[in-house]
Amino acid sequence: MQGIESRRQSLFIRFLQQPCPPAMLLVAAALVVVAAPTQAADAQQGNVLTLGAGAAFGPRYSGSDQNRVGAGLALDYSMANGFFAGTTRGIGYGSHIGKMDYSIALGYRGGRKDSNSNGLTGDSGSDYLRGMGEIKGSVTTLLSVGYGLTDWLHLGLQAEVPLSQRDNGTALHFGASSPFYSSASDELTLGATGSWGNNKYMQTYYGVTASQSAASGFRQHGAKSGIYAYTVNLAWKHKFGPNWSLMTTVGAMQLTGDAGDSPIVKRKTAPVGSVFVTYSY
């Protein structure tokens, strides 16, 4: 159970805390799709394919006061030997040694547009950012490690390092999760996370350079390395049977430090939520 919670929590951190527009849709897929196959894989000791569909709610970009609702599809394949591939976790390998679990994966951090953009998964970008320029997405390496202190408390740490668009910067996410209630058909998990960004990360997503200020009208803002966000979330998983599951999540993200003081931030605290149905076999 501790390894499962680590992977679930690290994915929540990864997608909820990143300031790219697609994050809110992918976090729901991550919470649902990863939780189901990892549990099934541990129980069955075999390969598991999970398909998921649902919807999620959250801000258009990190700091936006405009919300977005969109549909999402997800695919995750977990192998008994530890290798996995999917639309939420990327491609990688994970295992555990005693109470410690670890993984390494190749993933993708989405970009951010400075204009409204509509798609099948909902709205993204914002006209409010016009003149700030587009932030291109990054291929990333995700290094995660977790430790189960008890059956009801798990600590996790994840490094998110860009391989492309390296000027987008590196982020570290740390958190704790607690599956405080569990029965044959239901599970409730409470999570709390914090995120830290280096100078490049903070300046890319929350800073305003002189040229950006001239083009957008925002005041200049230098964002230095530091903790930029805290998140709390509650996840409820209900199993209809051996294959079908429902995952509902509610939470809130609070921007802080230089991120919270950024002129592009119109709302420091933002609610997020999701509901997904999955089928695993």
89 contacts 107 by C-beta, under 8 angstroms: yes
What's the rounded Cα separation, in Å, for the pair 240 and 250? 21
Would you list the domain boundaries of the chain? 2-280
Overall pTM surpassing 0.75 (yes/no):
yes
Per-residue pLDDT of the chain (281 residues; tens, 9 = 90+): 443 333 443 343 344 434 444 343 444 334 333 343 344 334 445 899 999 999 988 999 999 999 888 888 888 999 999 999 998 789 999 999 999 999 999 999 988 999 987 755 555 689 999 999 999 999 999 999 999 999 999 999 999 999 999 999 999 999 999 999 999 999 999 999 999 999 999 999 999 999 999 999 999 999 999 999 999 999 999 999 999 999 999 999 999 999 999 999 999 999 999 999 999 99
User: What torsion do the CA atoms of 24, 118, 213, 227 make, to the nearest 10 degrees?
Assistant: 0
Q: Pick from 13, 248, 31: which is nearest to 109 by CA?
A: 13
| CATH no. of 2-280 | 2.40.160.40
SS3 content of the chain, % helix, strand, coil (to 5): 20, 50, 25
Q: Pick from 100, 80, 75, 101: which is nearest to 90 by CA?
A: 75
Total residue count of the chain as it appears in this document = 281
CB burial of residue 47 (10 Å; 0-12, 13-18, 19+): middle
3-state secondary structure of 163: coil
